[in-house]
Amino acid sequence: METLQEAQERTRVRFSFWIMSLIQIPIICMVFVMVIRNRCCQESIMADGTRTPKDKYNDIDNAHNATEIKTNSQKNIEKRCCGSSSSKIIAVTLLSALILFIYDGLQAAYGGYVYTYSVKSVIDLSSTAGAYLTSVYWGSFALGRLISIPISTKLSPAFMLLINIIGCFASYGMELLLRHNHIAMFIGSATFGLFLSSVYPTVLALAEHFIDVTGSVTSIIVVGAASGEMAFPVIVGRIFVLLGPVSFLIFGNVACFISLFVYAGINLVGRTTGKQKPAARSQNLAWCRACCFASRESLLGTGEVSYYTKLNEDGAIRLAPLCEKSTSTTIDNEKPEKEEP
């Protein structure tokens, strides 16, 4: 009777998958090029090049400034495409994609190989216990997604992501040091699932904290995460066969250690993008999320906002200075009462 391996060799079906994979490589490269060019240049061409809200609205309303708007837009194309601001946005985007590449890959690799590792490496661990170990991991992962919702309202994204990375690193480290202890394996799998569960949404929140997450940025981050989920199981499977089952835990520890440097890079570059307020930069790792942002009064004060949109009686929208709003309110409040006849 013909075996499965002999049938695969005879049909050579694996070559069809290699061909489909190679066809996708140019498409992926072109998508990355288009996204980066669109991010750098297309918004610059459509921008009017003004700096203040007053100038922006005045340039739109006044026809005689159309030539000046076009000239300023053309001058700013090179600055936005090659300037430091666009470079920092690209850096934050790629670093966010890299950290999700690592942790989405670990998520798939751990769920796929923890059973094989536990049965082949852990002493006196039955196949039934190995199946329970996988269930504990995925169950704690689902539970972590649930409990991370209220926790995210109390912690800043940067601090929450740091806790997640440290927790994943500690879980892998405990499993490596106590790899023949059954209880340690169950505890490590549970804690790893808990800390890993909220990495994906936290990275997206942290990226939004530093830059404007547009559709292009989100696409790059999602592609990075999906690439890690595709690549890590293959890598872990190869080293599992070549170096033995313990390489499964060593690989996870190395990946978590590298992610610490990626996390530091996101924070260092993100602090210079200019989107954060000074209060947020100084308290980026604060416990309370409310401490990481300026208050509503400071954002709407005269130092931050000088103009606001106002709807006239004829239905037209115009830009009015903030002092006009307060002045008109004062005048309305101080109208003298009509004298009785």
Q: Give the model confidence (pLDDT) of 59-94 as tens digits.
A: 445 544 444 444 455 445 444 444 457 888 888 899
d(CA 210, CA 203): 11
Contact status, residue 186 vs residue 135, Cβ threshold 8 Å: no
199-212 pLDDT tens trace: 999 999 999 888 88
The SS3 of residue 271 is coil
Instruction: Determine which of 12-26, 137-151, 208-222 has the lowest per-residue pLDDT on average.
Output: 12-26
pTM reported for the whole predicted model? 0.63
Going from the C-alpha of 36 to that of each of 117, 214, 218, 303, the distances in angstroms are 41, 12, 12, 35
Q: Answer yes or no: is pLDDT of 255 > 90.
A: yes
Contact status, residue 163 vs residue 63, Cβ threshold 8 Å: no
The pLDDT assigned to 147 comes to 92
237-251 pLDDT tens trace: 889 888 888 888 999
